Amino acid sequence: MSMAVTKRSQMPPNVRHDELMSAHTSWRVGGPADLFFKPAAVVELAQFLRELPPDLPVHWIGLGSNTLVRDGGIRGAVICTTDLERAIERIDPKRVRVTAGVPCTAFARQCVRYKLGPAAFFAGIPGSLGGALAMNAGAFGGATWDHLEQVETIDRRGELRARARDAYEIGYRSVCGPAEEWFVAATFHFELDEGAQLSDISQMVKQRGNTQPIGQPSCGSVFKNPPGNFAGRLIEAAGLKGARIGGAVVSTKHANFILNDRQARAADIEALIEHIRATVRERSGVELELEVRVIGMEQKP
């Protein structure tokens, strides 16, 4: 840990040192972060960012899905957005502003109450809006940025700004935009849909539960779907359902899910990821791309 990081007296009182990330990720694995901060307000977040050494790496996490933190932990600061204000505001009949810490399922339900659509698909995205914005997450044929109008960001200097959608290059499960900025809110434009019903979301959640290992430690989908195909189908065709390395196992319910079973380490999960990629490449010639992000250091022997 750098000298700048060890000056604890300069940090806010709610900054934790050497915080185990296994308590903050849906895979329930991950070593310690040098600094771990859960701001309660954007103004507190801005102040924290301004006081950080400019060369200190910063990582962001919401509900901890779609992230694998290695066993050696994270050098630098981790900012967790789950304590930030959760707000959904109807700006006009078709536009909704939502803060980054709102769970996607909660956003879906509120939009359906507003009779706006298509928004119900957000109920199929694990995690919060901030993470969904960062990777253009999607479910049931919809994607986060399909109906996005503008985003609000914060940078390393703690400065806030609004950016239009065209400031970003958007692809399948990818978002490329200004460096060293992170999403704190977004405004969406939907259409009025008088037929929208909460039962639609209930049906989607039921369908998700029937086809995915909900309630077990995982990150959601591990790999992106290749063009014209499905990662889960390729993994299953390679005979990898139930494949195991240590405490990490490929779900027998949906092959694009890796579960933490029997106290897996992050190293087990990462090794199983590479085994899946190599086997699918050998069997089908397809190179699977990660949807999950892998961060942190490998644990030293």
Q: What is the pLDDT of residues 147-178, one digit of tens each?
A: 999 999 999 999 999 999 999 999 999 999 99
Nearest-5° Cα angle at 78, 183 to 129 = 30
Q: Indicate whether 239 pLDDT > 70.
A: yes
Confidence of residue 22 (pLDDT cuts 50, 70, 90): very high
pTM for the structure as a whole = 0.88
* Res 1 pLDDT > 60: no
32 beta partners: 20
Taking CA 2 as the corner, what is the angle to CA 55 and CA 14, rounded to the nearest 5 degrees? 85
The mean per-residue pLDDT over the stretch 207-218 comes to: 87
291 among known catalytic residues: yes
Q: Residue 7: is its pLDDT beyond 80?
A: no
Tokens of 79: 């900012």
Among candidate residues 224, 228, 234, the one with its CA nearest the CA of residue 284:
234
- Residue 209: predicted pLDDT: 82
Q: Can you tell me the distance from the alpha carbon of 32 to that of 217, in angstroms, rounded to the nearest whole number?
A: 19
Asked whether the beta carbons of 52 and 58 are under 8 A apart, the reply is yes
pLDDT at 2 exceeding the cut of 80 = no
pLDDT of residue 9: 45
Is the pLDDT at 3 greater than 80, yes or no? no
Given the residues 22, 221, 251, 270, the one annotated as active site: 221
CB 220 within 8 A of CB 105: no
pLDDT above 80 (res 221): yes
Any residues with CB less than 8 A from the CB of 162 and at least 6 apart, and which? 150, 151, 152, 153
pLDDT of residue 10: 60
The one catalytic residue in 152, 181, 270, 291 is 291
Q: Which of 70, 109, 173, 265 is an active site residue?
A: 173
Does the bond joining 13 to the residue before it have cis omega, within 30 degrees of 0?
no
Which domains occur in the chain, in start order?
A: 15-80 (3.30.43.10), 88-198 (3.30.465.10), 213-295 (3.90.78.10)
pLDDT over threshold 80, residue 82: yes
Find tokens 């092959």 and name the residue: 255
More confident residue, 54 or 222: 222
Q: Which two tokens stand for residue 100?
A: 């980054």
For 65-84, what is the mean pLDDT? Answer: 95
98 close to 107: Cβ distance less than 8 angstroms = yes
Distances (CA, A) of 130 to 54, 67, 73, 185: 23, 13, 22, 7
